[in-house]
């Protein structure tokens, strides 16, 4: 079973439902995986698409968000704001965690 937090798909910048559909088609066409795994993958893709649509609706209902509530990198509403120790910048915890997985520096001043 495919397990992944659906919030990974909540950033429409990095999500394309067409890519999921093409991947599913390739998996099936070349018999690269079993049918139950491919079906689970397709269900996951639908769940991510549905979650993205829900988030878009929530964003629309909220209206204009004050700049200080937006993450400075992703420009999304901060759900868990944290202050970075070296630059003093405030950003969403999930965004800085993703950044730190590939780079151990502060994204604003490159300090360790």
Model confidence over 31-79: pLDDT tens digits?
Answer: 999 999 999 999 999 998 898 888 888 878 877 878 999 999 998 889 9
| Residue 82 pLDDT level (bands cut at 50, 70, 90) | very high
Dist CA 30 CA 24 (whole Å): 10
Q: In the predicted model, what is the mean pLDDT of the chain?
A: 87
Residue 26 or 8, more confident:
26
Strand partners, 92: 81
Encode 34-103 in three state secondary structure.
CHHHHHHHHHHHHHHHHHHHHHHHHHHHHCCCCHHHECCCCCCECCCEEECCCCCCEEEHHHHHHHHHHC
Dist CA 48 CA 33 (whole Å): 21
**Scanning the structure block, which residue is given the tokens 């099936």?**
28
Average pLDDT over residues 84-91: 96
This prediction has a pTM of 0.54
């Amino acid at each position: 079973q495919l397990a992944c937090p659906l919030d990974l798909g909540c950033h429409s910048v990095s999500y394309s439902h067409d890519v999921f559909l093409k991947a599913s088609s390739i998996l099936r066409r070349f018999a690269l995986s079993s049918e139950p795994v491919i079906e689970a993958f397709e269900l996951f893709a639908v769940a991510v698409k549905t979650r993205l649509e829900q988030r878009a609706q929530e964003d629309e209902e909220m209206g204009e968000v004050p700049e200080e509530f937006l993450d400075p990198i992703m420009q999304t509403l901060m759900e868990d704001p944290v202050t970075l120790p070296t630059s003093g910048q405030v950003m969403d915890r999930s965004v800085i965690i993703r950044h730190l997985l590939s780079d151990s520096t502060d994204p604003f001043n490159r300090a360790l």
